[in-house]
Structure formats: C-alpha cells, structure tokens
Amino acid sequence: MRRCQKITFSMLFACLFLPVLSAKADISAAAEWVDIPVVVNIIDASDANNVDDAIKKANDILAGAHIRLIVKKTNKNVNVGNNDGDLTADEGNTAQGNGETELRNVAGAGKGIKITIADDVWTEESATNGWSIHRNPVVFAETDDPNTMGNVIAHEIGHSLTINGHSNDPNNVMYPTTPRGVNWDPNDVNEIFTNAKKRGTAYFIVPGTLGPGDDSSRP
C-alpha cells in the first residue's frame, strides 16, 4: 500500500490531491476563480420577483472575468427614507452607508459586495438604472427583466471593483447605457479580478474536470 512518510505540507498536498488531478490535468494549468460573498437589499416595496434570476445573469457575465457572486443573505422590504421603493440621492447615500456596515457584519471587514435593488435607484436622474461609486462595495440596480437587471449589476460591480470610465463599444459590459453587451476588455478583466480577490476568496479549477465554485476542485 502506498504511504507518505515524514509528511511535510507539500508532501501531504501531493498525497491527497495528485492522485485525483494528475490523470486529468496539471495543477499548473488550473484556472483561478474568485467567489465574492453578497448581501442583497430589496428596498421597501420594490419588485423582488426577478432578483434571483438577475444575479444568475450577472454571474453568467462575470464568469468572463472568472468571478462568481455567492448570495449569503437577502433582506426584503428594507426601509429607507419615505418607504416608497424609490431612492433620492440622499436616500441612496444612506442606503450605501448602511450597506457597508452590514457587509462588515456578514462578510467581514473589507470583504463582500452589497447589491441594493429599488424600483427607482436615483429619482433625480430618471435615465439612470444603476449606479455605484468606484471602490465602494455597495452597488445599486433598478428592478427590471432579469437580463437587463443582471447586466446592470455586472456593470456596476465592474465600477465597484475599480473600473473608472466606460467603453465606447456597445458590445462591452462597460458601455455606459443599456442595452449593452456582455464582452469584457482584457485590461478590465485584469483590473477587476485583482480587486475581486481582495473582497472574496480565490481558488483554482482544473480545466475540463469540475465546475466553478465546486469545493472539491479547490487545492
């Protein structure tokens, strides 16, 4: 029977994982992914019907950057301001501050992203269906069909993870208005992935074996 003797950490890793991985792919060729914990706030009486599907759509888009959102908590009927499902600029600022506090409590200091859903995310700017502040972990998206809402969430998370500015290509996720595409600029991917690792947990997937987020694929 094969044994490991005088076990060091590296030898233990080899004994535990190489029998599983060596027949399929070299670990050096594994793809790095990041899971980011998420808290969702649905403001007041805002429509919550499409939120789960919208986050799935956002994950489809963010997969192009090897990022996945993991919802840890969803709060419905969150009271902000006059409780009407619409956010003024001041109410949005309040929701953002509250969101940062809750993220620390749920995900830990410096971790996670807060997604705030409202029927109108910025009443003073009627054409806006989402917003965020660069490097701030709280993003906003309006209720809509799942594809549009998911696209907005992915776009605003791009800004949250430090993309400053917009693409001129309507096929790009970072195009300023909807409808927009789902393609990522490679430079943007490099930027947001680096910052996603600070807010989430990185792991590796061996190509052609296990799906993203499967715990058994993590070394």
pLDDT given at position 191 = 95
DSSP 23: T
What domains sit in the chain, N to C, each tagged with a CATH number? 29-215 (3.40.390.10)
Cβ(115)–Cβ(153) below 8 Å = yes
For residue 124 the two structure tokens come to 């003073």
pLDDT given at position 82 = 85
**Does an H or E element contain 131, and which?**
strand 130-132
pLDDT in tens, the chain (219 residues): 333 333 333 333 333 443 343 333 445 568 999 999 999 999 999 999 999 999 999 999 999 999 999 999 999 999 998 879 999 999 999 999 988 899 999 999 999 999 999 999 999 999 999 999 989 999 999 999 999 999 999 999 999 999 999 999 999 999 999 999 999 999 999 999 999 999 999 999 877 655 555 543 333
How far apart CA 80 and CA 111 sit, in angstroms, is 24
**Does an H or E element contain 113, and which?**
strand 113-118
Q: Is the pTM of this model over 0.85?
A: no
How far apart CA 212 and CA 160 sit, in angstroms, is 22
